[in-house]
């Protein structure tokens, strides 16, 4: 919170905390105070809480947050969204001029305009893009929601076993090469079950570490 009482709600980690505060200090050179509202290792929970606190403290309308969700322009997250972001008139004008200049360079100004109009005139196209904006699936995922639950349940049952076996693997690796990259139980579980579910190792790993499929998304 800045001394003029303007609030900013954001997410950071212990490792990045000093760097984040340094960035804020350069952006807002005035003195400001810091309050930790909540701590959690689950990124999806923290992101939901960030949006909750932005609403709770009204830091979008009356503070320094640029979006209601907390994810601002230029955010490099795979979950980045501009939902709720209000571009200034100056930014909108620059984007419009840039798009027109790009189209003019490619000599497709009228072609693009007519193609866009024809596309949006088709009800199916409008419904398709509307569904995307509402966060719905465009096609069924390779793993059903039931399979995701099954994988997480299996991981919960076998976590201790894989964690213990991983210690042995890491000890052997240290013996051969002290600089060898170590593994963990989640990665070994993912390697063991990727073929069973006919998906990639990262897919299984991201599911059991809650990096994806953390909520049920309705299909179109």
For 82-111, give the DSSP string: -TT----HHHHHHHHHHHHHHHHHTT-HHH
Residue 183 maps to a domain? yes
Instruction: Kindly state whether residues 167 and 115 are assigned to the same domain.
Output: no
Instruction: Kindly state whether residues 78 and 94 are assigned to the same domain.
Output: no
Instruction: Kindly state whether residues 101 and 72 are assigned to the same domain.
Output: no
Instruction: Kindly state whether residues 197 and 152 are assigned to the same domain.
Output: yes
Domain that holds residue 167: 145-208
Instruction: Kindly state whether residues 66 and 20 are assigned to the same domain.
Output: yes
Residue 72 maps to a domain? yes
Instruction: Kindly state whether residues 105 and 168 are assigned to the same domain.
Output: no
Residue 40 maps to a domain? yes
Residue 78 maps to a domain? yes
- pLDDT averages per 10-residue partition of the chain, 220 residues: 67 73 63 79 81 84 76 52 64 84 69 71 76 62 86 93 88 78 88 90 89 63
Rg (CA), the chain: 23
pLDDT at 220: 43
Instruction: Kindly state whether residues 74 and 95 are assigned to the same domain.
Output: no
Residue 187 maps to a domain? yes
Residue 217 maps to a domain? no
* Under 8 Å between Cβ of 40 and 49: yes
Residue 129 maps to a domain? no
pTM for the complete prediction? 0.39
Residue that finishes a domain, picked among 84, 104, 135: 84
CA distances from 204 to 9, 63, 123, 125, 188 (A): 32, 40, 37, 33, 10
Contacts of 12 (CB under 8 A, 6+ apart): 20
pLDDT at 157: 94
Instruction: Kindly state whether residues 48 and 63 are assigned to the same domain.
Output: yes
Q: How many domains does the chain have?
A: 3
Which of 196, 191, 187, 186 lies closest to 159 in space, CA to CA? 186
């Amino acid at each position: 919170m800045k001394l003029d009482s303007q609030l900013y709600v954001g997410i950071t980690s212990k490792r990045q905390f000093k760097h984040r505060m340094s960035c804020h200090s350069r952006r807002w050179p005035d003195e400001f105070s810091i309050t930790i509202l909540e701590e959690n290792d689950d990124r999806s929970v923290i992101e939901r809480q960030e949006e909750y606190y932005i609403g709770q403290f009204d830091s979008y309308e009356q503070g320094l947050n640029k979006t209601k969700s907390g994810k601002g322009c230029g955010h490099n997250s795979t979950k980045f969204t501009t939902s709720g972001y209000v571009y200034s008139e100056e930014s909108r004008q620059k984007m419009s001029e840039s798009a027109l200049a790009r189209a003019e360079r490619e000599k497709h100004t009228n072609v693009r305009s007519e193609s866009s109009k024809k596309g949006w005139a088709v009800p199916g196209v409008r419904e398709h893009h509307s569904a995307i904006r509402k966060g719905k699936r465009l096609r069924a995922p390779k793993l059903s929601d039931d399979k995701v639950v099954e994988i997480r349940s299996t991981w919960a049952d076998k976590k201790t076993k894989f964690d213990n076996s991983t210690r042995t693997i890491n000890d052997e690796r240290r013996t051969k090469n002290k600089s060898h990259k170590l593994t963990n139980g989640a990665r070994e579980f993912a390697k063991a079950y990727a073929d069973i579910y006919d998906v990639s190792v990262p897919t299984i790993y991201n599911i059991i570490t809650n990096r994806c499929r953390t909520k049920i998304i309705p299909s179109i």
